[in-house]
Structure 1
Amino acid sequence: MRNHMKLFLTLSLLLPGLLLSLKSQVCTVDVNGQTFAMGDGSSIPAGTPHTFTQPATNYGFTLDIYSLDNSFNMNINGTLLATQEIEFATGAGLTQNIQFADGAKWQDGNVPAVWSISGSASTTPAVRVVISPTGGITMFGSKSSGGPLLPLVLTNGNAFNTISWNTTGNNSVTVTQNVVGPTRISGYGSGKNTVPCHCTQPGAAGTPAGFTKMGILTKGSKTVTNWPESVPNGHIVLDASDKGMVISHMTTAQRNALVPVEGMLIYNTDLKCVQLYRGSAPAIDAARTGWNCISRGCNENR
């Protein structure tokens, strides 16, 4: 997803007699994302540099290339991405200097030429460049249009430079191409900032453990068969066609004057959140006692 990317980092800790594997999740949002296109089929001539001016971001920059023929390089804050033009093609005096980490190459009889592979925002790019906040470079490519992204490595004397990425000031990222025969490049680039991760776990499947016994209805008649008994896992069901539920709005001082009971809900006008009273000894997540703002999350992470 363009506006919300997730990365899973696995860290293994080796201790005497013990191996621990810790998986953490990093979610990002695009900053100043831009599409670009130069060369054949575009109104911008081949070889015309395209510059992204990026504000400070705390998780680097990602360039997704949707179409490519047949090489490129980048200049990031005055430093080239690679020591040589990154060349994906063979023949006509060209030296291919990038391949898949498993040894596969474009035009090797199994992987088609890079210019015949296309990507999009709704599938996967043909090539992806990731610049980390510490300046490290990783690249990924697809062996077919819309196929999975696989790690890439530079070869034949080409190498990545270490980039200085500004996390407190502006960044300049320029995409360039050497023009050799038909030449084009298009795609999307954006800075990345980290954001809190939302729950994406699927809902629980199976047979409900119970059904609702009480309902409050403001409609003229029930519109669902066996309402409210047909609603699983509830205590009270509210149903209206033109009315919403309003819970008590209170300041923190007003809330503190209550004699609360476990399960009580209010809207805290000072904290601007819906709060739930969890009692003094909740059975789940025992550290979160008393009043707590309700936030989106997953039970697995509690």
Structure 2
Amino acid sequence: MTTSLMHTSQQNQPLISWRWLSLALLVLCIIAFASASTSWLRISPDRQLQISQLQYFLNVGISYCSWLVIAVFANWMRLRIPLFSEKHPKWLLIHCSVAALISLLHILFDTFMLGLLFSFDFNFVSAFAKKVAFWLPVEMVAYLACVVSLSLLEQHKKNLKLPESEQSYTFEQGNQVRVVDRQDIEYIEAYDNYVFVHCANERLMLKQSLSSLAAKLPDEFCRVHRSYLVNLMAVECFESHSDGQAFSRLKSGKCVPVSRRRKMAVKSSLAALHTHIH
């Protein structure tokens, strides 16, 4: 019998859509390089002016790409090595090293492109040193600011008290309306075009995709596998075996598989939830 979810929380909607941000920055980079190329191809006696225009657009495009990489890596690293992580006591050193590596790659590529433009009169070492002195501290601060701000926003979302109406979900099943406490939901399993909501004492079936359901659920429902969502509040422990397989063992004794690609994210989510509760 098919049921449909009538009320779900919108709390898990992402604050930033990385796909749209990446697309917007890519379009800006294409426009910048296209404009620079157009200026470069024009025949003009003032070659120095053309080089200055191309240099400007190259700097803009490369900087956009660099800041995009900083934002994406900051969010990616934040999920794997949270702030004040007990498992990674050198978390600050790790984050600073990643920020410095991204910044140095940006500076090296930018300086190399300038060297191609000004090959007739260019001091690579001097230009590289000047850019390091300016960009390295700026981009390291920007990276750490991204990590801190995203962590604070996530913590703020977890600290928000849910309205009473969002403590439970309402399902329509035939002529009946079923109300399920969110804490009773253990995990959700996808099968073909349906998802099965496994509760403490029953199982409900919804005709929708797991991805669409996951987008409507709060942060405590974690995607552990392409076919499974788990309520982290129902997890007793995380088990990882020598053969690479991993499982989330629930308080009810059931085991839910965790994919290798999502192991670190699941462990970080469990650690963050444990810190929040205690």
**TM-score, normalised via structure 2 length:** 0.25
- Please tell me whether Structure 1 or Structure 2 has the larger radius of gyration of its CA atoms: 1
TM-score, normalisation: structure 1: 0.23
Q: In proportion to residue count, which structure has more strand?
A: 1
Whichever structure has more helix as a proportion of its residues is: 2
